[in-house]
Structure 1
């Protein structure tokens, strides 16, 4: 076991530099997943209007799944010798995106915003996966599994936003 910058590498097959880089990327993704699970629950509490119950009930399994993802990422960080940061202060200081913009609002408005959230999270996960490919295949595999689930959840959201031609509507109505 070696130590640099407070990180004690515990995965024998990885170099110190690889461990540090993977932990840095994972911390950013952990922050995004914590933010996502809180956003999903916020929407669950504040969605109203048409299809309320469908949206309300669709979101709880997503919250639960994302919560499991956060745990897996945090444990991978710890496995690699890092210290996962999951406090509210660390989330707000690490994140680089704006807070979710809606409170109580009609379902279609929440779905349009949630589609944007999922687009950002999945794009950033894809970028992280590309970096993990050069660092650590185990971490890469973990994130590939998460990405598959996140893309499925976005598909659920987009299914509610399809027009008669099958295209996703990107503008909400009042």
Structure 2
């Protein structure tokens, strides 16, 4: 059916303040707003769910958010999120390894002299925790794809501020 009018047929009333991103896919309409939440809507404007500005994949860096999903099991992105198996990644860049408040680090990790930067985070996942942070409790995970590591870092640079 071809519409021959510009009349509004559906309206999404988000209640989330300014909308900074809108995307369409097979699941409906996704909105990202100034309140830091991503919401999913049907094409008729009915809410289908919401989640804090982390995966489901963000609209600004869907690949980085997708790669982060494996990390989200153990790591939060906000300072006030409940502790998980790993420390929060909030404010990770520029922070010395083993210094996030409130987390019980292994002695092996505390003995390392690493400052988290885009380069050191990339090296962690290029070589794997067993090689890069030997003796830490972090499970062995590698990201062999340089483009996936770059997408993850770009996502973290935004999501951990």
Q: TM-score, normalised by structure 1?
A: 0.25
More strand as a share of residues:
2
Structure number with higher helix proportion: 1
What is the TM-score of this pair, normalised by structure 2?
0.26
Bigger RCO (CA 8 Å, 6+ sep): 1
